[in-house]
Chains A and B, each alone.
Chain A
């Protein structure tokens, strides 16, 4: 899976989790950019990512993430 494949999958998940259409992907995107992205929906987001890519994040990995681009990189690194 290329990085852009991962990114487009992540966008699909974000649209579902945050119930928002047509999210335009940007590496720098953060919770501040999406209305429904709060601490609770962030957990749903993380779990949905884990399920989709069949990976697990540790608490510290999640805590270190600063934006969506880093999330995509983390997924890519776990996919080997």
Chain B
């Protein structure tokens, strides 16, 4: 019986990691690289990641670009509208740590998305290559598998993977 349930659990994990619908916030230069990643050459959809328009339909939020203080409230609202389990991927240096606008350089930029939201994967680069973004997605998928395996006996939410 336990064998059947663990196989079913593996099936559910496989289904979850290979069908991540992402809410794509293309705020800045990294957003253009993300567009290229979803384009024909570096096709992100073959990993099951599909772009959706609304946060209510998304599992993953991909933040690509610099966050300004004015946008921070909207970002938080988008995150809160997503249903559990949800993950956040920060692409680029601006989303990761503020990048070239960090701290004293710019008066109106938040120094990294992690000041507002819990981030699961950081993809460094300015902007990162599409291959790097794909690597970020695959890392997240592996992390979800690991996290589900560890937490499978709990029924709390399966977010924040241990990577």
Determine if chain A interacts with chain B.
no
* Chain A interface residues toward B at CB < 8 A: none
